[in-house]
């Protein structure tokens, strides 16, 4: 597997964990890391919130040493606040500072950030310039291919990123208007990768090893990002690595491996946040691990009503009992 560089940071191989709000928190990242992500992104965090908000928001960007290399992703549209925030993330120890310009969820519209910022390229340029000047660590940006098919801004933004000294760009191959409908357009991602000298990371619809291999071998990208494909499925990382090296599929994870990871995830959640909050934070992940398995709908429903660690552990054991015997 080919390594590449983001600025002065060596990324050991091309398989990267995508930023995902309410999913890729520190616990999830520590679960995923041993499976083999070469770089992991935090979920997006508001620069205004980090500078002016409550202390609690800092939980979104804190990470453990074992997670490195970590890219902290921030959003905002004020050159001053974004650069101040970038500096704070550098001081916190981020390996990479990433600017979110790809999300168009309602809270982004309210603050004209995320994908909305790509509709005003001169403001975006000022934000990028000030962030670049504020820190020494590598700086990256994540965009959609454009706002809509008539405004494919990823080409201009990639060029701008290269000129301004950004160290990589990630492109999700859909427009903002598309949301998650249709298919990610990897041809456009490839065209950008062939146009600029900085690494381009591709994002969109990598849910199995064959697709990962196909995108990496047929395009000029340096890395692929795994988003929805890793939810409840950290095994996708070794599956892709194995396929890239041997061109064969790894067998699917055994039920006991799934059960072990679920119990570990629960334990880490409780260790980090205490029993009540830890269970609240972890419960949805537990239901994702069993998706597609026999009785998973019943398990999901049952878990919603449980608020105690022993009961949840028992329910997990009950769920897996017929699968293990
Ligand atoms: C639940 C969820 C939350 C997301 N949150 C973020 C985010 O915080 N920052 C970001 O840049 N992209 C976010 N994305 C977009 C993903 O990083 C990724 O680009 C997109 O899902 C396409 O990749 P996939 O098909 O592998 O999921 C999110 C996607 C999902 C499904």
Q: Which two tokens stand for residue 303?
A: 């878990």
3-state secondary structure of 152: coil
Q: What is the pLDDT of residue 81?
A: 98
Q: How many CB atoms sit inside 10 A of residue 12's CB?
A: 13
Q: What is the pLDDT of residue 129?
A: 98
203 CB under 6 A from ligand 1? yes
142 CB under 6 A from ligand 1? yes
In testing the pocket of ligand 1, which one of 19, 47, 176 has its CB within 8 Å of the most ligand atoms? Answer: 19
d(C-alpha 306, C-alpha 303), whole Å:
5
103 CB under 6 A from ligand 1? yes
For the chain, domain boundaries: 4-246, 255-324
In testing the pocket of ligand 1, which one of 18, 32, 106, 200 has its CB within 8 Å of the most ligand atoms? Answer: 18
Give the torsion through C-alpha atoms of 102, 108, 111, 117, to 10 deg: 20
Give the CATH superfamily of 255-324.
Putative flavin oxidoreducatase; domain 2 (1.10.1200.80)
Detail the DSSP E strand segments found in the chain.
4-6, 9-11, 15-17, 40-41, 45-46, 70-75, 96-101, 139-146, 168-175, 200-203, 223-226
Q: What is the pLDDT of residue 324?
A: 85
d(C-alpha 179, C-alpha 296), whole Å:
28
Q: Which residues of the chain have pLDDT under 70?
A: none
Closest C-alpha residue for ligand 1 atom 10: 19
Active site residues: 103
Ligand 1 centroid distance, CA of 317 (Å): 32
137 CB under 6 A from ligand 1? no
Q: What is the pLDDT of residue 325?
A: 75
Q: What is the pLDDT of residue 1?
A: 87
Q: What is the pLDDT of residue 209?
A: 98
Task: State which ligand 1 atom lies nearest to the alpha carbon of 42.
Answer: 8
7 CB under 6 A from ligand 1? no
Closest C-alpha residue for ligand 1 atom 26: 227
Q: How many CB atoms sit inside 10 A of residue 265's CB?
A: 22
Burial class (CB in 10 A: 0-12, 13-18, 19+), 189: buried
Residue 98: closest CA among 55, 53, 63, 61: 61
Q: What is the pLDDT of residue 65?
A: 98
Task: State which ligand 1 atom lies nearest to the alpha carbon of 102.
Answer: 11
* This prediction's pTM: 0.97
21 CB under 6 A from ligand 1? yes
**Domain 4-246 = CATH 3.20.20.450:** no
d(C-alpha 226, C-alpha 79), whole Å:
30
Q: What is the pLDDT of residue 6?
A: 98
Ligand 1 centroid distance, CA of 23 (Å): 9
User: Which residues, listed in sequence order, are joined to residue 171 by a DSSP beta bridge?
Assistant: 143, 202
Q: What is the pLDDT of residue 276?
A: 95
What tens digit of pLDDT does each residue of 224-274 get? 999 999 999 999 999 999 999 999 999 999 999 999 999 999 999 999 999
Closest C-alpha residue for ligand 1 atom 5: 20
Q: Which two tokens stand for residue 38?
A: 């070469």
Phi and psi for 77 in degrees, rounded to 5?
-130, 10
């Amino acid at each position: 597997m080919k390594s590449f560089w983001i600025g002065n940071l060596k990324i050991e191989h091309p398989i990267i964990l995508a930023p995902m709000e309410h999913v890729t928190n520190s616990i999830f990242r520590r679960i995923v890391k041993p499976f083999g992500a070469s770089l992991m992104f935090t979920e997006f965090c508001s620069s205004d919130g980090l500078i002016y908000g409550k202390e609690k928001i800092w939980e979104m960007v804190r990470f453990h040493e074992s997670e490195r290399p970590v890219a902290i992703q921030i959003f905002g549209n004020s050159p001053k606040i974004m650069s101040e925030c970038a500096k704070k993330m550098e001081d916190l120890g981020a390996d990479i500072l990433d600017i979110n310009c790809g999300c168009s969820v309602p809270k982004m519209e309210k603050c004209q950030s995320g994908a909305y910022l790509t509709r005003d390229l001169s403001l975006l340029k000022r934000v990028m310039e000030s962030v670049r000047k504020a820190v020494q660590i590598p700086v990256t940006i994540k965009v959609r291919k454009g706002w809509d098919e008539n405004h494919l801004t990823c080409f201009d933004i990639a060029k701008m990123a290269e000129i301004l000294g950004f160290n990589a760009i990630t492109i999700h191959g859909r427009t903002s208007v598309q949301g998650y409908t249709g298919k990610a357009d990897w041809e456009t991602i490839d065209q950008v990768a062939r146009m600029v000298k900085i690494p381009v990371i591709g994002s969109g619809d990598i849910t199995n090893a064959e697709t990962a291999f196909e995108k990496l071998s047929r395009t000029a990208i340096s890395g692929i990002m795994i988003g929805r494909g890793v939810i409840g499925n950290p095994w996708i990382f070794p599956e892709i690595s194995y396929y890239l090296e041997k061109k064969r599929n790894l067998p699917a994870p055994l039920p006991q491996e799934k059960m072990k990871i679920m119990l570990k995830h629960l334990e880490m959640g409780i260790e980090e946040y205490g029993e009540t909050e830890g269970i609240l934070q972890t419960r949805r992940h537990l239901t994702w691990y069993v998706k597609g398995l026999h009785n998973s709908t019943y398990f999901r429903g049952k878990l919603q009503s449980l608020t105690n660690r022993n009961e949840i552990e028992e329910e997990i054991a009950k769920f897996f009992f017929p699968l293990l015997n």
